[in-house]
Amino acid sequence: MSGIRRALLFVILAAVVWSLAVWTSGGFAVNGPFGRISSRDAIRPLVAAGLLGILYLLVCRRWIKSDFAPVTALWHTGSQYRTEAAAAALSCVALFIAIHWGSFVAGGADASGYISQAELWLHGDLIRPRPEWVAEAPWSKTWLTTPLGYVPGVSPLTMVPSYPPGLPLVMALFQAVGGRRAVYYVVPMFGALAIWVTYLLGKRLAAPSVGLLASALLLASPAFLFMLVAPMSDIPAAAMWVVALYFATRHSFGSAVACGLATALAILIRPNLAPLSALVALVMLMNGSRRFARLAAFGASAATGPIAVAAVNGYLYGSPFVSGYGKIENLFALERVLPNFLRYSGWLLLSQTPAVLLAFAVPFFWPSKGAARSAAVIICVVFPIALLGLYLPYFIYDVWWFLRFLLPGYPGLCIGVAGVAVALTRHASRAWVRAGVPAFLVMALAVYGMSFSNGPWGDSKAHDERYLHVTSYVAQLPARSVFISLAHSGSIPYYTGRDTLRWEALSPGALDRTVPYLRDKGYSVYLVVDRGEISGFMETFARTHTVGELHDTPPIDVIGALVYPLGGTDLPPAPQLFTSYERRRH
């Protein structure tokens, strides 16, 4: 009988491993002596594992304790090294996902904005000159010639980065050491750090098992996975806030300084979250001796963040209180609070399941008592709610992955869910219930989270590679060229050094004056739009002579991006590389 039980458990484990292999690889096919074996669906093996697991529970209940002794040992105090090894493995998984599926491309507004700003930091000057043809241009809006991620500078005919300096500074450090490609390893490193420190924080607030379960929940969170593969600031911001919270729970003077430095970098990355530093200070005041001395050390080191932000704002935008996003009063409005609350709460329940509400039971159910319990309430409940409050008056978005704004609160939420699950089962008479129920809950949530997020982040690398193919084609066009674009207005200058003009803010009547003006200045003019943009462009400029000519001009299709010649400009054919790539895609 024991042999049959072991065989059944082996099959269950093999089905889970099979599912993970399909999930991480995107599916595979093997030609063997008995034909072709292929697997593309990660859900079916998981369903099979679940059904076999139910069968095991129904038939083999009396042997559960002995069969699962190695698993329950993870919850034993003497096996802490095992939980640390498992948490380290989860961090490595995060690193692997971020590098394997990560977008190593400066495409889109955020990625090109952050990465190009990193290069400006290395060159020692954040102020870029605008194209020389702007001075006499036939339009009034000066920021039309700034790429995505940039705004007009205070000085005439200049442009400056619009994004905060924290992430670009870290990217600049990586680029200084490892070259241009090194900037794409910043987010993977921060992602792995967030997983590891979430484990450490959960362990400190409750137990190693809570930290391990929380780090697994964070890794499988759809918003975390979605942003883990993008060179943007959301994962770094989440990582630095959880690092700050972890050091806030420690008692040494050095930890207070480390907490302040982590908070400073978190503010440099996302300045609008600076009010959260008050909650970090509150956590620090709840434990340890020499509280006010540590608080002073924290305050002195944390203050470097907002001071640096104010200095950069004053240099770039003319005032410490003006950011690259504009004046504060233009960014927030009370009428957005309710719509944003409904969106964010709905997306959170959809992507994390209603189980995320367990985190709000932390004040009533927690495995530990005293200062750790009080700190857990702030970290797992107050901190995420305060974070949400900062974004409720902000702009309204209609896509679920804007949960990325709330990622700094995810480590606390995951720790709260794991801690409450452990607390609710700690008085069970059977060890397998105490160990198995929280682990099963986390496994089920992880499976759901990976399934929910598999499509979007799995395709991000291939989706963003189109920017590279477009810029490769653009690089073959005349050096004196101007590209009317939107989505590619940041990547084209970064990779090719060519000038761009953003069509979305160009008035309809100005297009027919702009193209001849640039041609008279000796520039070749091209339109570069994604397929999703072309209808908007055509509708905006439907009555112009320029668009009338486009109907008779076949574009070059470069992996979904359309390149049109404007004003009689010649357009060479696309290289075979693009057409063959497109055939493979379709």
**pLDDT tens digits, one per residue of 514-554:** 999 999 999 999 999 998 899 999 999 998 988 888 877 88
pLDDT tens string 22-49: 665 556 554 444 455 666 677 778 788 8
pLDDT tens string 188-228: 999 999 999 999 999 999 999 899 999 999 999 999 999 99
Q: Are 560 and 462 in contact, with CB atoms under 8 Å apart? A: no
Q: Tally the residues of the chain.
A: 586
54: confidence class by pLDDT, cuts 50, 70, 90:
confident
For 123-157, what is each residue's pLDDT tens digit? 999 999 988 888 888 776 677 888 999 999 988 88
Binned at pLDDT 50, 70 and 90, residue 581 comes out as: very low
DSSP 357: G
Q: With cut-offs at 50, 70 and 90, classify the pLDDT of residue 576.
A: low
CA triple 541-520-533, angle to 5 deg: 25
Domain boundaries, the chain: 2-67, 108-163+462-585, 183-458
Nearest Cα residue to 218 out of 126, 311, 34, 87: 87
Let me know: does 313 contact 321? Beta carbons within 8 Å. Answer: yes
Structure tokens at 49: 């594992």
Rounded CA gap, 520 and 277, in Å?
Answer: 55
Question: Which CA distances in Å does 452 have to 95, 97, 230, 561?
Answer: 20, 16, 18, 28
Degrees (nearest 5) of the Cα angle 577, 578, 583? 100
12 pLDDT band, cuts 50/70/90, is: confident
**Average of per-residue pLDDT values in the chain:** 86
Q: What is the pLDDT of residue 69?
A: 63
User: Per-residue confidence at 67, pLDDT binned at 50, 70, 90?
Assistant: low
Q: 76-99 pLDDT, tens per residue? A: 544 567 788 889 999 999 999 898
Tens-place pLDDT, residues 288-310: 778 889 999 999 999 999 999 99
pLDDT (tens digit per residue) in 411-464 = 999 999 999 998 988 766 666 566 677 778 888 888 888 778 765 455 667 678
SS3 at position 508 = helix
Among 154, 130, 165, 155, residue whose Cα is nearest residue 502: 130
User: Does residue 506 contact residue 514 with C-beta atoms inside 8 Å?
Assistant: yes
Q: What span, in angstroms and rounded, lies between the C-alpha atoms of 518 and 516?
A: 5
Q: What is the pLDDT of residues 235-260, one digit of tens each?
A: 999 999 999 999 999 988 999 999 99
Q: With cut-offs at 50, 70 and 90, classify the pLDDT of residue 21.
A: low
Nearest partner of 484 among 459, 512, 453, 443, judged by Cα: 512
CA 191 – CA 234 distance, rounded (Å) = 10
Task: Say if CB 214 and CB 417 are below 8 A apart.
Answer: yes
- pTM across the whole model: 0.85
Residue 433 has what pLDDT?
61
Contact 157, 130 (CB under 8 A): yes
For residues 207 and 367, the answer to whether their CB atoms sit within 8 Å is: yes
Give 2's pLDDT tier (boundaries 50, 70, 90): low
Write out pLDDT tens, residues 469-515: 899 999 989 889 999 999 999 999 999 999 999 998 888 888 898 99
The pLDDT confidence band at residue 356, using thresholds 50, 70 and 90, is very high
For the segment 386-411, what is each residue's pLDDT rounded down to a tens digit?
A: 999 999 999 999 999 999 999 999 99
* Confidence check: pLDDT of 586 > 50: no
